[in-house]
Amino acid sequence: MSEFVRIVEVGPRDGLQNESTMVDTADKIALVDRLSATGLRSIEATSFVSPKWVPQLADAAEVMAGIRRRDGVSYPVLVPNEQGYDRARAAGADEVAVFTAASEAFNLRNTNASIDQSIERFAPVLARARVDGVRVRGYVSTVLGCPYQGEVPLADVVRVARRLHDLGCYEISLGDTIGVGTPLKARRMLLAVADEVPMAALAVHFHDTYGQALANVATCIEAGVRVADAAVAGTGGCPYARGASGNLASEDLVYMLQGMGIDTGIDLDALAETGRWLAAKLGRPTGSKVGRALAAA
């Protein structure tokens, strides 16, 4: 495997959608543009889920119209079904993401559908995307634990990930939604999925509820994964996990990877400055330890 790790920046979508502070459209556009200038290659720009369910991202079309797209940078958007896909395509999206869970209990609470029903909803999206030449990323949440059912069998994680890959998702992001994973469990889960889905088609997405996210990523990189999700300033968190402290901060991840001798192509100082800027917009301290340390240096 190459000594390069691609970071998928999910702050503008997964980060902001769970923040209580409403962010102006102009600031969302500025956030994506700032991130584009740091060297990131994948920035999840927004979500075309119904504004009723995700009011923070009701301005998805306006955001997509306002951002300055850079060559070599992808701007995927989340879509739940064909209606969301139609809206995303009308807004100019050329990459989308779909989502489900490895836990039936979580999926029922989060989407009012079983795992099979949720996949049925977006299966037509993948069929249309193939015709349209649109790449589709898949998310599997609750891969290391569920707030409702507790343990999630590895076999369920593998089954759902393999199904998304078979449907045509070019990449499957394996998400520890409530941040309960530890390194050995994360490695075991990743390798189990990699037995059925090529490692090159897998990504990891860890929340930092118990402070394990960086260790989990490091262990999974040693196991062979080369794509990791993170959110600038550690924005977000899971509304279903009490005390969840947010996504893994992109700045902290880049700092760790640089220390491991792994290239990300990202300007850490520019990323940290963007994190501090966003935290100020949200009216709270940045969730990035590296961002705070660089500011104090």
Residue 204 CA: distances (Å) to CA of 87, 128, 196, 279, 291:
28, 26, 16, 24, 22
Active site residue 146: no
CA distance 188 to 169: 22
What b/e string do you get for 94-112 counting C-beta neighbours within 10 Å, with b at 16 or more?
Answer: bbbbbbbbbbbebbbebbe
φ and ψ at residue 166, rounded to 5 degrees: -65, -30
The string of DSSP codes covering 4-73 is B-EEEE-IIIIIGGG-SS---HHHHHHHHHHHHTTT-SEE--EE-S-TTT-GGGTTHHHHHHHS-PPTT-
CA distance 141 to 189: 13
Q: Which two tokens stand for residue 65?
A: 């119209």
φ and ψ at residue 130, rounded to 5 degrees: -60, -45
CA distance 11 to 193: 26
Residue 265: exposure state from Cβ atoms within 10 A (0-12, 13-18, ≥19): middle
In the chain the first and final C-alpha atoms are separated, in Å, by 35
φ and ψ at residue 263, rounded to 5 degrees: -85, 140
Q: Which two tokens stand for residue 246?
A: 């947010």
Q: Which of 146, 169, 220, 238 is catalytic?
A: 238
The amino acid at 296: A
φ and ψ at residue 205, rounded to 5 degrees: -145, 100
Provide the annotated active-site residues.
Answer: 238
